[in-house]
Amino acid sequence: MYKKMLVIASLVFAGSLVAAAGAQAITIIPPSLEFEVSPGQEYETSVKLFNETDAAVDLYTEATSFGAAGESGKPSYRFDAEPEDLSSWLTIEEGPFHLEPGDRITVPITVTPPENAGPGGHYAAVFFSNTPPEAQSGGQIAVGTKIGILLLARVPGDVIEAGDIKEFILQDDATSANRLPLTFVTRYENSGNVHLRPTGMIEVNNMFGNAVASLEFNPSNGATLPQTIRKYETVWQKGDVSTDTGFWAEFKNERKNFAIGRYTAAISTQAGIDTTINKSATLTFWVLPWHVMIVWGIGIIIILVLLWLLLRRYNKWIVAKAMQRGATDTQSTPPTDKK
């Protein structure tokens, strides 16, 4: 019924494969490879595998194409499809690669693009699995673990680099909040034919025009694939946030992440290799820490009432003192003789 059925126990990029009997992991270096290839010309590269577990393991290879899974930046793999595009250009030994505990090996990869390879970006993933290929084919169901590396190839020629900020908003399209942290959401659109890695800064100014925060945009250098939109999140935060609930817990959170008034956030991004793509956008929002405002408001009212009572009492004391002094002066004045 299915061309291939595979139950994946763990699928990790830029990380490690954890073996059931192992205390640590199988590590792959690097987690991704980015390179340029020319049509009809071979390109040689390699990956390194390190067995950090306390048990021996046999690993088998599998190449597949990938694309973007929505706007999250996570790849979507095409395990059930025949190799195509970059995944069909790869030559890599099938395995098994036997690694004793502590072993390191280098696995060569040859990339041979066809003469008619189109310009722009081409994408594939190479997986290393502890499941033999025969258990991954036919109608069998295999339970295994995979670790993979992303391959991002660029073919020169009529390469189109085109990107834009589709949207720059606060999370959930909010226009106000009671405190930090606040999450800036940037939806970046790539309308070209090669991946882009937009970077930049988000500057936050208060109502007086003073800079209060400078946040790095896309510090992980994540890529936006061609003809896709990727959502990037940037967090503005001052202190840790308690998960406790209730008025006083939120009051403490507002104090640790205090902000008040109207703010303006401006993002500036740069992308591209052959073409410099500069894009910018701004947004305004309000931060009203109402828990703090209530407590401070009540505190100010109490202080004002106490000052009023003290002033009133002081005035009464002054009046009483004046009246007492007047009475004393009257009693001490000697009578005047009349002739």
Radius of gyration of the chain from Cα atoms?
Answer: 34
Q: pLDDT digit string (tens) for 5-37?
A: 333 333 444 444 444 434 458 899 998 999 999
User: Which range (29-43, 79-93, 200-214, 216-230) has the least confidence?
Assistant: 79-93
CA pair distance 38, 112, nearest whole angstrom: 9
User: Which range (9-18, 25-34, 261-270, 273-282) has the least confidence?
Assistant: 9-18
Is the pLDDT assigned to residue 145 strictly greater than 80?
no
Domain 163-288 has CATH 2.60.40.10: yes
> According to the model, what pLDDT value does residue 330 have?
64
- How would residue 335 be classed by pLDDT, with cut points 50, 70 and 90? low
Residue 320, amino acid: A
CA pair distance 114, 119, nearest whole angstrom: 12
- How would residue 259 be classed by pLDDT, with cut points 50, 70 and 90? very high
Q: What is the pTM of this model?
A: 0.80
Domain 5-155 has CATH 2.60.40.10: yes
**Tokens representing 185?**
């959401």
**Residue scoring higher pLDDT (154 or 312):** 154
From the list 34, 85, 44, 43, the residue with the least C-alpha distance to 64 is 85
Domain boundaries along the sequence of the chain: 5-155, 163-288, 293-325
> According to the model, what pLDDT value does residue 20 have?
40
Phi, psi at 125, each rounded to 5°: -135, 140
5-155 and 163-288 in the same fold: yes
**Tokens representing 131?**
């499941």
CA pair distance 287, 51, nearest whole angstrom: 50
> According to the model, what pLDDT value does residue 6 have?
36
**Tokens representing 88?**
């069909």
- Give the rounded distance of the alpha carbon of 98 from its chain centre: 37
Is the pLDDT assigned to residue 131 strictly greater than 80?
yes
> According to the model, what pLDDT value does residue 134 have?
63
**Mean pLDDT of all residues in the chain?**
87
CA pair distance 70, 230, nearest whole angstrom: 8
- How would residue 240 be classed by pLDDT, with cut points 50, 70 and 90? confident
Give the 3-state secondary structure of residue 7: strand
Phi, psi at 65, each rounded to 5°: -85, 160
The H-or-E segment that residue 315 falls in is: helix 290-332
- How would residue 336 be classed by pLDDT, with cut points 50, 70 and 90? low
Q: How confident is the model over 60-85, as a mean pLDDT?
A: 89
From the list 80, 190, 76, the residue with the least C-alpha distance to 125 is 76
